[in-house]
């Protein structure tokens, strides 16, 4: 995350004088286009997801396990897109991102942790409405992803190889389970972006993270039934940096 933000700051700082130098010619070129934007590129997409973890936390609390934060989750990834010339200002691309959060605690010598991982990716389709160097884009992402919920509980003591696998199930004290749910993803988005330079576009994206899929698997081997509805859909905000080549079609 820190490396990505540093790259963003360096690129923006470098682009500022270039933008000022070429501003007059560049803006005229953009106004004179007749066939829409041509080009493509890619970059980073730091995202803040305002996920709804209230149902998940309620179920975790009932089982005496740590709850996850409800303030949101940071996702990081990349994206790329290209403008389709036979439909002016329509761009198609792809995007992928992921993130995790974990809560750990010691309850009177009993170590417990709850870790939530989210990964999502898919194809993006957007229609761009340009106003000079400023753009508004309507569209979204369609694809898939997965939730991974890892629950750990064990005595907070030293471990030895001989005690890792007890002879009988009743003697087992340690437990660690991973629950995985694969889902279909749909993310409608509204993007406002500004061309810092013909090679650099900075955007702010608002959207909604929607998922569909209720099939959970335990430890990669077992189907598990009677699972609560843990859909953690919610709004998100994303900073989108795109580097490439963006020209007018004249």
Mean pLDDT, rounded, for 153-174: 70
Q: pLDDT value at position 245?
A: 84
CA distance 155 to 167: 18
- Is the pLDDT confidence value at 170 over 50? yes
- Give burial (CB, 10 Å; 0-12/13-18/19+) of 131: exposed
Spatial separation of the C-alpha atoms in residues 62 and 57, rounded to whole Å? 9
Selected residue with higher pLDDT from 93 and 25: 93
Three-state SS letters, 50-113: CCCCHHHHHHHHHCCCCCCCCCCEEEEEEEEEEEECCCCCEEEEEEEEEEEEEEEEEECCEEEE
* pLDDT tens readout for residues 67-90: 998 889 999 999 999 998 889 999
Please provide the average confidence, as pLDDT, over all residues in the chain: 82
Cβ neighbors of 56 (< 8 A, separation 6 or more) are 67, 68, 116, 149, 228, 230, 232
pLDDT of residue 173: 65
Instruction: Indicate the pLDDT class of residue 203, thresholds 50, 70 and 90.
Output: very high
Q: What pLDDT digit, counting tens, does each position of 210-223 carry? A: 998 878 899 888 88
Is the predicted pLDDT of residue 65 greater than 50, yes or no? yes
Cα-to-chain-centroid distance, residue 148? 14
In this prediction, residue 248 carries a pLDDT of 57
Q: Is the pLDDT of residue 44 over 80?
A: yes
Using one digit for the tens of pLDDT, what is the confidence trace for 118-159?
999 999 999 999 998 899 999 999 999 999 999 998 887 777
Average pLDDT over residues 102-114: 89
Q: Where does 2-248 sit in CATH, by number?
A: 2.40.160.20
Long-range contacts of residues 220-229, Cβ cutoff 8 Å, at least 24 apart:
220/178, 220/180, 224/179, 227/179, 228/55, 228/56, 228/59, 229/55
State mean pLDDT over 38-63.
92
List of residues 6+ apart from 181 with CB closer than 8 A: 146, 147, 149, 213, 214, 215, 216, 217, 230
Instruction: Report the pLDDT value the prediction gives residue 169, as an integer from 0 to 100.
Output: 56
Closest CA to 20 of 133, 130, 131: 133
By percentage, how much of the chain surpasses pLDDT 70? 80
Q: What is the pLDDT of residue 167?
A: 62
């Amino acid at each position: 995350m820190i490396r990505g933000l540093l790259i963003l700051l360096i690129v923006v700082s470098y682009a500022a004088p270039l933008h000022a130098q070429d501003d007059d010619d560049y803006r005229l070129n953009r106004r004179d286009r007749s066939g829409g934007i041509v080009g493509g590129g890619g970059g980073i997409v730091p995202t803040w997801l305002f996920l709804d973890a209230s149902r998940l936390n309620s179920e975790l609390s009932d089982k005496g396990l740590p709850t996850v934060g409800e303030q949101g989750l940071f996702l990081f990834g990349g994206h790329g897109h290209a403008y389709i010339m036979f439909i002016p200002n329509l761009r198609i691309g792809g995007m992928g991102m992921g993130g995790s959060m974990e809560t750990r605690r010691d309850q009177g010598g009993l170590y417990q942790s709850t870790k939530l991982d989210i990964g999502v990716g898919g194809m993006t389709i957007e229609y761009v409405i340009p106003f000079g160097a400023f753009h508004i884009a309507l569209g979204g992402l369609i694809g898939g992803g997965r939730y991974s919920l890892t629950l750990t509980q064990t005595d907070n003591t030293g471990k030895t190889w001989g005690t890792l696998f007890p002879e009988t199930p009743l003697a087992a004290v340690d437990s660690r389970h991973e629950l995985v749910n694969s889902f279909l993803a749909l993310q409608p988005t509204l993007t406002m972006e500004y061309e810092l330079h013909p090679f650099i576009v900075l955007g702010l994206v608002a959207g909604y993270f929607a998922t569909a899929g209720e099939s959970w698997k335990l430890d990669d081997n077992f189907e598990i039934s009677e699972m609560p509805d843990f859909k953690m859909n919610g709004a998100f905000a994303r900073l989108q940096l795109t580097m490439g080549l963006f020209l007018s079609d004249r």
